[in-house]
Chain A
């Protein structure tokens, strides 16, 4: 069993390296800007969902308020950049640290809540954040912030002529989130989280410090999501509260993991690879009419997958494999 686990982890690492290498070559074949855009968003949501999965999947604390951390990453970066001329790289790290601190500060009261009470508290806190930013004059209120053009450079993390640098950053972020998850899976934390998810009382009695392990998951998860927010702000070159802190981001972070397989290493990547291109394509080909057909398709898919495959699409792979093994 133990040997199998170690072998599986080595195999996962090899598969990830191959996939990342293939993804890195994709721009050689994809010249179309529209398609590049979809690839960038897919990688970004894969990274976000992977980060969300740490708290909600592995540790079992379902958050529908991660848009708050996404927005904090975006706003910290852009406020520091536009008001004080601080390079986005520092803003990105600063945003991540602030988000992690807020996540722990909120975790203190929130982790006493169970089930639906926790989910609703996370929605509510993100909504409070959104309302506050919409009314915060200094931060541009509802009008938001337009990020001034300072030329194409990695130093300023701005690229006007090509989308490729954004693509590579998103790829690195996605690999980072995946690697952190991979690494945590086999750490003391990873085992604690799964114990907390399955049965917090039993875990506590076996010596797991439940509260601290939830705090750890919240901090790591919020930090990575805030980095994603900082990236998104630079990528869009314009932010306003609704477009970086709206509820839809909380949902878009959760859905890939749910569709792919919540609490699994590959679920978020697989889910994002299917969901994000589908969302973008339905939006541009049938959503343009404004008649909501894209929503109908999208919603139906969510209902069907959650009912038919409660363990996500990755369960199809393991099912196929276990069938093969018994033969």
Chain B
């Protein structure tokens, strides 16, 4: 194995890792805000990929251009899911954790069923986009353009999110609600509205990731399932609720996956991620950057 090959695979691992971070950050954000894990997160990604696909198929809008539209659509979707389902799940007096897990899990199954019903189980892909299939080479290292742009979008999204949380009124309301949902009501912040906007924002972020992935990944009703577990691992690795943790967790997952693929058969590449995840939580049960 040459040094070239190692650098090549680490570079692609890094790009994929940044994208994993973007997929996962919505999950981390929602958890941090209200201690709820969305078990339909993978299906949010799936819907985003279909939205991107249909915008391309019907209106010939390139995935790169449609990304903001997809994010906006997912924002609305996330807020609606909160208002219709999660809001009620949070009222459960008994078995609260169970109710959250299974109400969002049920939603995931419904979304998969609806996708099969309306879009059929066929695999779809966006045949020609501006970036699809193109690569750039830096000093002999080849990087696929869609992943490269995806990584850049991810970095920008994280920077934007940081600014948003720390510098805007809504971001401060988000932080305040997360610290004490009861007390914010006293200063006139509507808790439900903040939660709905939080769900919208979380969904919009995964929407952005889905739009980018649509240009280089097959789109089918079960596609979310394959990324959902990676997203949970990313978030748990970084520490539930920590936005920066999701970013770091994503990079670690991407690099570990690429390294595992160098040593083990490709079909075992996820084993490396899972093993590292288990190792980290055994040493630090709260994840790398999770708060107590």
Contacts and interface: CB of A to CB of B under 8 A. Distances in A.
A135 B103 contact: no
Interface residues of B, dominant DSSP: helix
Interface stretch (A86-94, A115-123, A175-183, A220-228): A115-123
Contact of A294 (B88, B96, B113): B113
A127 B270 contact: yes
A303 B99 contact: no
Contacts of B99: 306-307, 310
Interface string A81-125: 000000000000000000000000000010011111101110111
Interface in A244-290: 251, 255, 258, 262-263, 290
A292 interface: yes
Which bucket holds chain B's interface residue count?
35 or more
Interface in B223-271: 229, 232-233, 236, 240, 265, 267-268, 270-271
B110 A134 contact: no
B133 interface: no
B233 A120 contact: yes
A311 interface: yes
Interface residues of A, dominant DSSP: helix
A293 interface: yes
Contact of A296 (B37, B105, B110): B110
Nearest to B115: A292
Contacts of B236: 116-117, 120-121
Contact of B112 (A258, A262, A295): A295
Contacts of A251: 105
Nearest to B110: A299
Contacts of B117: 291-293, 296
A130 B82 CA distance: 33
Interface string B254-292: 000000000001011011001101100110011100000
Interface string A129-146: 001101100000000000
A304 B106 CA distance: 9
A300 B271 contact: no
Contact of A117 (B95, B108, B287): B287
A93 to B, nearest CB: 29
B102 A128 contact: no
A299 B111 CA distance: 8
Contacts of B4: none
Interface in A17-46: none
Contact of B107 (A117, A258, A303): A303
Contacts of A128: 271, 274-275
Given A121-B281, A124-B277, A292-B116, 18 more contacts: A62-B98, A109-B278, A115-B97, A120-B232, A120-B236, A123-B229, A124-B278, A131-B270, A131-B271, A251-B105, A290-B116, A292-B112, A292-B221, A295-B109, A299-B113, A302-B102, A302-B103, A302-B109
24 contacts: A62-B98, A62-B101, A112-B282, A113-B281, A116-B236, A117-B240, A117-B285, A123-B232, A124-B274, A128-B275, A251-B105, A290-B121, A292-B112, A292-B117, A292-B221, A295-B116, A299-B110, A299-B112, A300-B106, A303-B102, A306-B99, A307-B85, A307-B88, A307-B99
